[in-house]
Amino acid sequence: RLEEEYIDLATKIERDASLSELADTGVPLCPLCNKMELTLNQDGSRSSMNVCVDCEKMTCTRCGGYQTSVTTR
């Protein structure tokens, strides 16, 4: 049961992340929470990079810093 819930959650996160990439707001949003803006420097880089270790996408400061999950790594 726990594995099914994890798979459902992972699928939802992937779907939400793909929808956020399609949103044409002009401001990059975190692919995990779809709420926080990813603040970029003028050259497009970030001063404090938070990267999800599972999906390897740049995330906001709230979502960044997750540890590797046992099921994906």
The tens digit of pLDDT for each residue in 18-47 reads 665 545 556 777 877 878 877 777 776 666
Domain boundaries, the chain: 2-59
- Tokens 């003028």 correspond to what residue? 42
Tokens 């992340």, residue located: 17
Closest CA to 31 of 71, 69, 62: 62
8 A C-beta contact, residue 64 and residue 39: no
Q: Which residues contact 3 (CB under 8 A, 6 or more apart)?
A: 71
Could you tell me the pLDDT band of residue 4, with boundaries at 50, 70 and 90? very high
